[in-house]
Amino acid sequence: MSKKTPEIPSASMADIAFMLLIFFLVTTTMDTDSGISRMLPPPVPPDEQNDDDVKIKERNVFVVLINKNDQLMVEGQPMHIKELKEKAKEFIENPTDSETLPEKEAKEIPFFGTTMISKQVVSLQNDRGTSYGIYIQAQDELAAAYNELRDELALRKFGKKYDDLDLDRQDAIRDVYPQRISEAEPKNYGGNN
């Protein structure tokens, strides 16, 4: 019988693995980045700078102003940030076809047939002195308004939440409630900071 090849000692294996483990434990950062995604409008060509934007009827625009003291003015009335979402939802949906809320337009949409789509636009304007925190809160509340409306519609129509639908149905719902949050070209509101 030939000699058996001696076994490689594996006692130190654990130590080596521990060393690697500790290295990765120390260098690791678990937080995945998340945030509110937005698209900026494309840059304005200089020759059109003075032209006012496409005229949109006043009833179709939901104006949110934030001044340098972080106070909100929504559609001409001061408002607390917590009320913003409800007000925005009412505006976007216009359930009673009110005269002062946005116009609606018939449009063909898959799954829904011909549906009345409101021509809403949300306009968020802020001062240079506005704090970033309140700005993000306002963005968040407005996004929440859209998302809740979409969820409600998805539940009514398909019995599922918006996120659980397949892509075609999500597209259809997005066509019913398109998210239009526009930000004005920077201006100064409420004095200099």
Partner 1 sequence: MGKFRKSGKKELPPVSTASLPDIVFMLLFFFMVSTTMKEVELKINIKVPQASQIKKLEKKSLVSYIYVGEPQKQFVRTMGTEPRIQLNDQFSEVSDIGSYIEEERGKLDEAERPLLTTSLKVDEKTKMGIVTDIKQQLRRVSALKINYSTRKSSKEE
Binding site for partner 1 (CB under 8 A): 10, 13-14, 17-18, 20-21, 24-25, 27-30, 32-43, 126-133, 135-137, 139-140, 143-144, 147, 186, 193
Q: How many CB atoms lie within 10 A of CB 88?
A: 25
Minimum CB distance to partner 1, residue 9 (Å): 12
Please name the helix (run of DSSP H) or strand (run of DSSP E) that holds residue 123, with its range, or none: strand 121-126
Taking the least distance from each CB to partner 1, the nearer of 57 and 128 is 128
**Closest to 87 in 3D by CA, of 128, 122, 111:** 122
Which one, 98 or 188, has the nearer CB to partner 1? Answer: 188
Rounded alpha-carbon distances, angstroms, from residue 122 to 21, 84, 93, 170: 50, 12, 12, 21
Tell me phi and psi for residue 123, to 5 degrees: -115, 120
Q: Smallest distance, Å, CB 188 to partner 1?
A: 9
- Looking at the Cβ atoms of 12 and 96, the one nearer to partner 1 is 12
CA 11, CA 20: separation in Å to the nearest integer? 16
If the CB atoms of residues 38 and 107 are measured against partner 1, the closer one turns out to be: 38
CB of 185 to partner 1, least distance (A): 9
